[in-house]
């Protein structure tokens, strides 16, 4: 398009002339010196005006092209469902299926209790850590030289990316935690009455980076070594704790085997190891819990409590494949606990309250309980209504 405009512009740079044959019969009768026809030179076309219009059109089109590029590469990434402004990876778990898990309204025979990490016994903490190591050694049935633990990172980075910034953010992650918990039990001997623990960040709001969750002996290991070379997500290899031997195979949309990485303390980038705890103060938590409508509540939970920690911890945690870091599961269990608390403030209404845009890439319209939570072939898709109550159907758990 630009070449044709430039060519047209060059063609009109000089005045153009045409030959016109004029029939001058009247002139022949009055003057013998006139020829039977004569070639008369046409007046020059208004070349300056044409050049001006074409140049203006060229500049307008060029400007619009640059604006489009700016929108596509700079503005649009801010609205993609991604912590690190990267597109979701082109992974296997992507297609929508018609294989929907049938509804179940059965009553729970037993309701388990998910507890805060620090309230677990040493044995219970060890059981959870060991089960994660087991998944990280268990080959995936999808092949590609990956493990079942990798499958969850790939799932979250694929179809899971589109539940962010939408109504399905809370139910999709709730159901995914349920799947993860059951796979720990089915494949790795996690106790049948065991549950995913949660991290109550409000206990550490005064100094999140010094939380015992980052303890090398009783937690998930600390930050990446500031003196080490960068790994992924402006993070570095975690040097201590129970997960130093984890080797995730993907970061966002790139297959790259690397060490588990975090990056909340980096003097080279003037990052001082202080993860902001403002959003995690008890009064800030209470403010969110007092929100009346689901759409606004979910938005605040995701934008403040969810995103802040993902960006603050850095490394693997700042990507759509954040499930590379076991911290992902205790963080999201705490987000799920927020929703559980909010629902039980008014269960008659809120156990069925679901509104907003169903998924990030949905066409405009109101979300409803019959919408489908997608798992792209990883497991059966499920209706939103199945994830609304933790104390009925399959879920059967509560929070301490």
Nearest CA among 398, 397, 370, 374 for reference residue 386: 370
- What pLDDT is recorded for position 27? 40
**What is the value of pTM for the model shown?**
0.76
Q: Which parts of the chain sit beneath pLDDT 50?
A: 1-45, 71-98
Q: Where along the chain do its domains lie?
A: 2-77, 83-399
Phi-psi region of 377 (alpha: psi -120 to 50; beta: other; left: phi over 0): left
CA distance readout (Å), 309 to 82, 168, 212, 248, 316: 14, 20, 15, 20, 12
The pair of structure tokens assigned to 236 is 């570095």
Tell me, what's the pLDDT at 83? 46
3-state helix, strand, coil in the chain (%, to 5): 45, 10, 45
Query: How many C-beta atoms lie closer than 10 Å to residue 7's C-beta?
Result: 9
**pLDDT digits 0-9 by tens, 285-336:** 999 999 999 999 999 999 999 999 998 999 999 999 999 999 999 999 999 9
**Cβ atoms 340, 390 nearer than 8 A:** yes
Strands in the chain per DSSP E: 19-23, 37-41, 112-114, 236-237, 250-251, 254-255, 261-262, 265-266, 271-272, 372-373, 382-383, 397-399
What span, in angstroms and rounded, lies between the C-alpha atoms of 123 and 163?
Answer: 35
Euclidean distance between CA atoms 260 and 264, whole angstroms: 14
CATH (residue range 83-399): 1.10.1280.10
d(CA 178, CA 396): 10
CA distance 179 to 49: 70
Report in angstroms the alpha-carbon separations of 131 from 170, 179, 306: 25, 14, 25
Using alpha carbons only, give the angle 343, 347, 352 rounded to the nearest 5 degrees. 80
């Amino acid at each position: 398009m630009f070449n044709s405009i430039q060519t047209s512009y060059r063609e009109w740079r000089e005045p153009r002339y045409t030959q016109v044959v004029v029939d001058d019969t009247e002139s022949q009768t009055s003057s013998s010196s006139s020829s039977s026809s004569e070639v008369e030179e046409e007046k020059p076309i208004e070349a300056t005006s044409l050049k001006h219009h074409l140049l203006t059109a060229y500049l307008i089109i060029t400007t619009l092209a640059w604006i489009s590029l700016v929108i596509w590469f700079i503005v649009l990434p801010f609205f993609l469902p991604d912590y690190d402004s990267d597109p979701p990876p082109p992974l296997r778990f992507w297609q929508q299926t018609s294989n929907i898990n049938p509804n179940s309204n059965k009553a729970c025979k037993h309701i388990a209790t998910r507890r805060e990490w620090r309230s677990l016994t040493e044995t219970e903490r060890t059981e959870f850590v060991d089960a994660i190591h087991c998944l990280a050694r268990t080959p995936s049935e999808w092949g590609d030289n990956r493990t079942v633990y990798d499958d969850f990172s790939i799932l979250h980075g694929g179809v899971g990316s589109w539940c962010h910034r939408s109504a399905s953010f809370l139910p999709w992650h709730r159901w995914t935690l349920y799947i993860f918990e059951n796979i720990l039990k089915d494949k790795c001997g996690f106790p049948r009455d065991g549950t995913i623990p949660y991290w109550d960040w409000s206990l550490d709001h005064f100094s999140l980076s010094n939380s015992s969750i980052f303890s090398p002996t009783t937690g998930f290991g600390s930050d990446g070594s500031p003196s080490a070379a960068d790994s992924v997500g402006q993070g570095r290899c975690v040097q201590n704790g129970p997960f130093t031997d984890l080797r995730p195979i993907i970061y966002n949309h790139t297959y790259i085997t690397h060490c588990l990485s975090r990056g909340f303390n980096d003097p080279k980038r003037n990052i001082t190891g202080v993860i902001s705890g403002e959003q995690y103060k008890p009064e800030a938590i209470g403010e969110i819990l007092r929100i009346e409508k689901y759409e606004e509540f979910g938005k605040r939970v995701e934008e403040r409590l969810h995103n802040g920690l993902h960006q603050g911890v850095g490394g693997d945690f700042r990507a759509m494949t954040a499930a590379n870091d076991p911290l992902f599961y205790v963080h999201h269990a705490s987000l799920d606990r927020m929703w559980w608390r909010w629902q039980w403030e008014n269960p008659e209404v809120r156990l069925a309250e679901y509104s907003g845009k169903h998924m990030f890439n949905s066409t405009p319209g109101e979300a409803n309980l019959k919408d489908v939570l997608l798992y792209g072939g990883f497991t059966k898709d499920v209706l939103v209504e199945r994830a609304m109550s933790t104390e009925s159907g399959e879920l059967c758990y509560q929070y301490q």
